[in-house]
Structure 1
Amino acid sequence: MSKAKAENKADNKSSKVSPDLDTPTDLPQGGVDKISAALNLLLADAFAVYMKTKNFHWHVSGRHFRDYHLLLDEQAAAIFATTDELAERVRKIGGVTLRSIGQVAKLQTVKDNNESYVPPREMLRELMEDNKKMAAAMRKARKLADDYEDVGTTSLLENFIDQTERRTWFLFEATRQQGGNAA
């Protein structure tokens, strides 16, 4: 057994697929393991950014309340919509996906924000940075999937990258100063 294969097997002990859940695939097991791990990281971050976006949606205040409240609700819904597709993609290729909030907390790379008050402009900037980070992670996962000729995952991630860039753009524009006035 090669070193990479042995390391991969050791890293995936808890993600071993039950024979009852063993989905047939033509992808090599090493590719399934690596792609599944990358998608699970994206899934954990999607849940973290979804929760942060809803947190800010619920707690935004100020003169742009309605616009920001609606923007954040729309973005949260779009992020949440990706979670099922990411998890199902892991299963389609024969991997195991997240089972608990504890796994999300363990895997997420996006930091939570538990502050009692965050100024609206800072909320938007923080979410913009989180979305940029997610787009970069998606690109990395997309390249990995492409290396294994996993067209389904690359296609899915290309769409999600575009959606994430759109969210980043909207958040950026909402934080710009107009005529010297702060947003």
Structure 2
Amino acid sequence: MSLNTGLSEEDRKSVAEGLSRVLADTYTLYLKTQNFHWNVTGPQFGQLHSLFEEQYDELRVAADDVAERIRALGHFAPGSYVQFAELKSVAEAPATPPASDDMIRQLAGDNETLSRVARSVLTAAENAGDEVTIDMMVERMAAHEKAAWMLRAHIQ
């Protein structure tokens, strides 16, 4: 059955490729944030444990939404660590968990990275006239900028 939503195949492919990068980074950040949630220690344990949980819960929902948008555009969503490793720009968590302040710095920087990646996909979506993806990327940028701010507030 053909797909005819008003976007060309070329535009859908371009946007889906960008969304695949967002998905890989989102999933990588999800896993890293959950890792830090499990392994945080120190005087801010309670606050950070809760904050990291809120953030990884939001990322889990976001990953599903992004993957489903890729499918709605008629493309397959990446879904393996191998694929994510090829697409991601967010660094994975180190084998030995860092100190809590370093966790915060890493996650803040990673959220800023994801905001920039989403911004690049926003541009591709604007060029394609893909309002659905535009809205999604604006939402993702807002979520990542807020998460980075909340993290930075713990060490400023």
Pick the TM interval, shorter chain.
over 0.9
User: TM-score, normalised on structure 2?
Assistant: 0.95
AA of the residue aligned to 2:90: V
**Equivalent residue number for residue 29 of structure 1:** 9
Aligned to 1:70, which of 50, 59, 62? 50
Alpha-carbon distance in structure 1 between the residues aligned to 2:119 and 2:91: 20
CA distance in 1, matches of 2:153, 2:118: 22
Q: Give how far 1:105 is off.
A: 1.8
Q: TM-score, with normalisation over the residues of structure 1?
A: 0.81
60-69 vs 88-97, which deviates more?
88-97
Q: Secondary structure at the match of 2:89?
A: coil
5+ unaligned residues in a row in structure 1: which ranges?
1-18, 177-183
- Alpha-carbon shift at residue 100 of structure 1 (Å): 1.9
In structure 1, the partner of 2:123 is 143
For 1:55, the equivalent position in structure 2 comes to 35
SS of equivalent to 1:175: coil
Match of 2:81 among 101, 108, 111: 101
User: For 1:86-120, what per-residue CA distance to the aligned partner results, in whole angstroms no more than 9, with x for missing partners?
Assistant: 01111112222113222112211111122313010
Q: Which structure carries more relative contact order (alpha carbon 8 Å, separation 6+)? A: 2
Match of 2:132 in 1: 152
> Which structure has the bigger radius of gyration?
1
User: Percent identity between the aligned chains?
Assistant: 28
1:43 aligns with 2:23: yes
Runs of 4+ in structure 1 off by over 6 angstroms are none
1:126 aligns with 2:106: yes
RMSD: 1.3
Contact 1:24/1:94, CA 8 A, preserved across alignment? no
Partner of 2:71: 91
Contact 1:25–1:94 (Cα < 8 Å) also in 2: no
Q: How far apart are the structure 2 equivalents of 1:99 and 1:115?
A: 23
How far apart in 2 are the matches of 1:23 and 1:77? 32
How many residue pairs match? The answer is 156
